[in-house]
Amino acid sequence: MEVRQVSYFLAVVDNGGVGSAATALGLSSASVSQGVRSLEKSLGAELFHRIGRGVALTAAGRAFVGPARRIVRSASAADSAPLSSATSVSGRLDILASVYVAAHPVARLVGAFRRSHPAVTVRMGALSEDDDPAALLRQGHWELVFSHLPVPAAEFETRALGVLDYVLVAPPDAHLPPEHVVALAQLPDLPMLLVPRGAPMRVQIEEQMHQAGTRTRIAVVTHHREALDSMVLDGVGATFMERSGAAELVARGAQVRGLDPPVQRAHGVLYDPRRLSRAGAAFLERALTLADPATPVDPAPAPSG
């Protein structure tokens, strides 16, 4: 088995097909196909079902994705080590982030990291509500997982990075009290835009509102969190949003109010210190350098749903 063949396999997985993988790699489709076939022969298992001109992972292929990523990361680190200085880092970094922290703060961290280490290619995936972060780390798919805390994964290291503060974001023409903070018990009667029931932040917000004796008047429930910005600005309704993300809407005319009592959630990073590449260790160091020192190391469990 050659690392080159493994990289071809991952290119097919990441690009959705042999042709797209060949384009991404700057090779011919025949070269990529031959490399994958040679890898399958070495492993003694088919990694893809060939369906017409397309491919789909077999069970063996799905099981091999995580180990393949570890192989490529390790080879990249080994190749760059003789040429790198004490401060330069190169190679590939695979990180996973939940939708709640992807833009704030993970995207900012990626930008800061890439400015310091432009030779590192960062692959950033989306952690869904149904994913098991510990299993994904264990299988080798990712090096670092960023999400709300706590994360039930005792076998891995968890470091708190900060606290996300959620606020009420309302359309430009909404009638809101002039105060900068509104009590959950006295929320304005506005149509609300919400994510589906069961999402951790909706559970937490609704439990705190229930304790305050108030309810929402639901206008829209959407899986597409990226659509909330446009619906707020178009006057469809109000929503709850992380403060730094809401600040961008204020510049476009939206109104923002803090909440009393505050609705907050700690966030952090999960990783296996035994398997961190040099790029992963450098990214973690940058994240911890920029962490909020007031964040508790062992945040209390989120309210149950």
**Which is nearest to 151 in space by CA: 165, 124, 166, 131?**
131
DSSP 8-state code for residue 171: -
Q: Where are the domains of the chain?
A: 1-80, 163-264
**Longest Cα separation, the chain:** 70
Beta bridge partners of 60: none
- At the second CATH level, the architecture of 163-264 is 3-Layer(aba) Sandwich (3.40)
Task: Give this prediction's pTM.
Answer: 0.72
Q: Are 2 and 41 in contact (CB under 8 A)?
A: no
Q: Is 150 within 8 Å of 133 (Cβ atoms)?
A: no
CB-facing half-sphere around the CA of 90: CA atoms within 13 A: 11
Quote the CA–CA distance of 286 and 144 in Å, as a whole number.
13
pLDDT digits (tens, 9 = 90+) for 25-55: 898 999 999 999 999 988 989 999 988 878 8
* Domain 1-80: which CATH number of 1.20.1530.20, 3.20.20.70, 1.10.10.10, 3.40.50.450: 1.10.10.10
Please give the Cα distance from 16 to 56 (Å, whole number). 8
Q: Which tens digit of pLDDT belongs to each residue from 238-293?
A: 999 999 889 889 999 999 999 999 999 999 999 999 888 889 999 999 999 888 65
